[in-house]
Chains A and B, each alone.
Chain A
């Protein structure tokens, strides 16, 4: 289980910092494939499109405090399965379809979703001094 901000994520961040045109990160997707986490990741391997688990606008997409006031992006969403899936990957996107993947992560072991199970995912992305 690891998570990375992708090169597209860095680009969007730089655009926002300079007042350029950037699209907010608000959509979350999960998938049944997996790949090594890398800044070069651009999409999920096998994004789930089934009802209840399909890409969706996060219920919460806001900023919160970590080291400084409002320095951390917080993305929270709860998916509800309507069938059986083994969820292995997750990403945050700037579009409800296609678009740029701004962060990517995999779960240490597949999350075995059964019908009516819920999966609450919380992404936090902090901007801080290294």
Chain B
């Protein structure tokens, strides 16, 4: 710690994949991205390279859902959304 500021080392891992047939045609793929808040966005694409799902996970591994509150995009734990 220097000047009261603790620097934390972070080691995020991302797993991306591409599944193709023997002719090289895309059958599906997935990719992970992280925002500056540490949320991981897991995108799934079909054989037309069209996005079919997005899963959002926080630093602690909890799944989140996107919600707009007064026009501002926010993320809340999925379980809370399901309880409503």
A interface list, Cβ under 8 A from B:
1-5, 9-10, 13, 37, 90, 103, 105, 107-109, 111-130
Contact = CB atoms under 8 A, between A and B. Distances in A.
Tell me if B's interface is mostly helix, strand, loop or mixed.
Answer: strand
Nearest to B20: A118
Contacts of A114: 21
Interface of B: 7-22, 24, 27-28, 30, 32, 38, 40, 42, 44, 53, 55, 57, 61
A93 B18 CA distance: 21
Tell me if A's interface is mostly helix, strand, loop or mixed.
Answer: strand
Given A2-B57, A117-B20, A120-B18, A127 B9 contact: yes
B14 A108 contact: no
A129 B10 contact: yes
23 contacts: A1-B15, A1-B30, A2-B42, A2-B57, A4-B13, A37-B61, A90-B15, A105-B13, A108-B30, A111-B19, A112-B27, A116-B22, A117-B20, A117-B21, A117-B22, A118-B19, A118-B20, A118-B21, A121-B17, A124-B14, A126-B10, A130-B8, A130-B9
A119 B44 contact: no
Contacts of A130: 7-10, 38
Contacts of A109: 44
Contact of A120 (B9, B17, B44, B57): B17
